[in-house]
Amino acid sequence: MKTTIHIPSAAALRITIGAVGVIAAAILPAAFAQTVTLETRDVDLTYPAEAVVEAVRQATVAAQVQGRVVEVRADAGQRVKKGELLMRIDAREAAEGAAGAEAQLIQAKANYERTKNLFAQKFVSGAALDKAEADYKAAQATAGASGATVSHSTVTAPIAGIVAQRQTELGEMASPGKPLITIYDPKGLRVIASIPQYKLAEVKKGARAKLEFPESGRWIDAARVEVLPTADARSHTVTARLYLPDGVEGVIPGMAARAHFVIGAGRKLTVPPKAVIRRGEVTGVYVVDTQNVPRLRQVRLGEMLGNGELEVLAGLAAGDKVSLEPIQAGIQLKQAK
CATH number for the domain spanning 302: value is 2.40.420.20
Please write the tens of the pLDDT for every residue from 161-219: 999 999 999 989 888 889 999 999 998 899 999 999 999 999 988 889 999 998 887 88
Mean pLDDT of 249-253: 89
Measured CA to CA in angstroms, residue 219 lies from 239, 244, 261, 270 at distances of 21, 11, 13, 16
Please write the tens of the pLDDT for every residue from 99-119: 566 767 788 888 888 888 888
pLDDT at 144: 64
In a domain, 16, yes or no: no
Q: How far apart are CA 249 and CA 259, in angstroms?
A: 18
Shared-domain flag, residues 183 and 331? no
**Comparing C-alpha atoms, which of 54, 253, 67, 96 is closest to residue 155?**
67
**Comparing C-alpha atoms, which of 134, 109, 133, 105 is closest to residue 119?**
133
Shared-domain flag, residues 101 and 146? yes
* Domain end marker among 250, 265, 280: 265
pTM greater than 0.85 (yes/no) = no
User: Which amino acid is it at 309?
Assistant: E
Tell me, rounded to whole angstroms, the distance of Cα 139 from its chain centroid. 48
- Lowest mean pLDDT segment, chosen from 119-128, 166-175, 265-274: 119-128
Tell me, rounded to whole angstroms, the distance of Cα 279 from its chain centroid. 31
Shared-domain flag, residues 274 and 331? yes
* Residue 65 phi, psi (nearest 5): -145, 150
- Residue of 260 and 307 predicted with greater confidence: 260
Tell whether the model's pLDDT for residue 48 goes beyond 60: yes
* Domain end marker among 187, 206, 231: 187
Average pLDDT, the chain: 82
Domain containing 285 equals 33-41+268-336
pLDDT at 105: 75
Shared-domain flag, residues 69 and 180? yes
